[in-house]
Amino acid sequence: MPYEGRPGAFWMIVENGTASPRVTTYDLDAALSELRRSGFPDLDDMLVESQLDPADPDWVAAYFEHGAGRGPDPGEPRRAGG
């Protein structure tokens, strides 16, 4: 599930202790069609939050920092588009 406010696979390579962020883009419409054919329960609800109307990346970072005890509660999720 991307947390960057846009579709893509976000990952990294760690080599000798150095992280190198990577992004793999993909055709969102084709990916959604394939996922929907899978029959996964409640998929459309998950797709809205993760792909179609994702959370604001800054809110996501604050949410995880709060969960790790390193920041205030960020409140209700903000959407990437607004």
pLDDT tens digits for the chain (82 residues)? 667 777 788 899 999 999 999 999 989 889 889 988 998 888 888 887 777 777 888 998 999 999 999 999 999 988 877 6
Domain assignment present for residue 78? The answer is no
- pTM, full prediction: 0.60
Domain assignment present for residue 82? The answer is no
* Alpha-carbon distances of 16 from 13, 19, 20, 23, rounded to whole Å: 10, 8, 11, 20
Domain count, the chain: 1
Look up residue 43 and give its two tokens: 């998929």
Q: Which range marks the domain in which residue 38 is found? A: 9-67
What residue type is 70 in one-letter code? R
3-state class (DSSP) for residue 49:
helix
Domain assignment present for residue 29? The answer is yes
Domain assignment present for residue 1? The answer is no
Domain assignment present for residue 81? The answer is no
